[in-house]
Amino acid sequence: MLKALETNIEEDLFFLRDYLFSRNIDNRISESGGRQTLWVFRLEHVGEVIDAYEKFKTFPEKKPQVSTSATLIAAPLMGLLRFFSASPATSSLVLLSVLVFICTQGDGVPPTSSVLMSKLFFSPVTSAGDQFYFLSLEQVILSGEWWRLVTPMFIHFSWIHIIFNLLWCVELGKKIEKRIGYLFLSLLLIFSSLSSNLIQYFIYGPSFFGGLSGVVYGLLGYCFAWGKMVPRKKFDVSKGIYLFMFIFLMLGFSGLIDLLGIGKIANGAHLGGLTFGLLLGFLSGAVSRVRKGSRGPK
């Protein structure tokens, strides 16, 4: 990619990006050290980006003026539109998770009483009295319901559960999506979920597990490994966050969290997501270093 523009991180480039996309100029934005950089893929687009940026700065009076009452409505709406435009993969994950959560609330217990939720669990389940019976992984695959290997990430059992997970997904997902793009992040989300669900199943067997926490660990693992391989382009994630999540993972496997009465933790899902994120991060970082080396002097 080619660097076309660099500005303060506070400057809003939303309208400029919309204009560039309307001109079929693909672009990405990255953030580092309080600055944001707009990148393009073709050399001839660099000059057009600079010209468009100057025009947007020169004619600020052309921006629509709205009343105070309209601003109260328009500001959050514009914020959402910017979020969806800049981070389509992250925003789609949030939207789907919230919709599924809303649609599966108020259906009573056990979880099988929700038709939608029962379709999203890793294993189909039937009940007889107080006993639950799950199909094996082999039976799930043979039944053709392969989506179950991924969809547990959309299942959340409380508002605290979903809000906590989505906050992490938004914080980390936006960083990765700005740097590498929505397609790559989409694949990272899908395979982090697949890895976390499979490891949870193999360690603990079939059960009522779900949530995005395994995906969160996948995102964290990717950011950490990439930063180790390509330190000059590492993601803006503090060491304290990595340390906290690692300690939380260890406490989960130790059983101390269960003793606190917080609830069951899908420790296998955390481990599976983290493992895949680390592997992909190291692999992507290695490829980036090889490409950089191949472009250097010979």
Is 238 a known active-site residue?
A: no
Do the bridges between strand 131-134 and strand 125-128 make them parallel or antiparallel, or are there none, so unpaired? antiparallel
Which of 230, 203, 236, 205 lies closest to 289 in space, CA to CA? 230
Query: Residue 48: how many CB atoms within 10 A of its CB?
Result: 16
> For residues 224 and 234, what is the distance between their CA atoms, to the nearest angstrom?
8
Distance separating alpha carbons of residues 120 and 251, to the nearest angstrom: 28
DSSP-assigned states of every residue in 129-145:
TTEEEE--HHHHHHTT-
Query: 244: which 2 tokens?
Result: 């906290």
Which is the catalytic residue, given 87, 91, 97, 213?
Answer: 213
Q: How many CB atoms lie within 10 A of CB 184?
A: 16
Does residue 213 have an active-site annotation?
A: yes
Q: What is the CA radius of gyration of the chain?
A: 22
The one catalytic residue among 123, 193, 196, 270: 270
Nearest-angstrom CA–CA distance, 249 and 244 = 9
Q: Which helix (H) or strand (E) holds 35?
A: strand 35-40
Catalytic residues: 213, 270
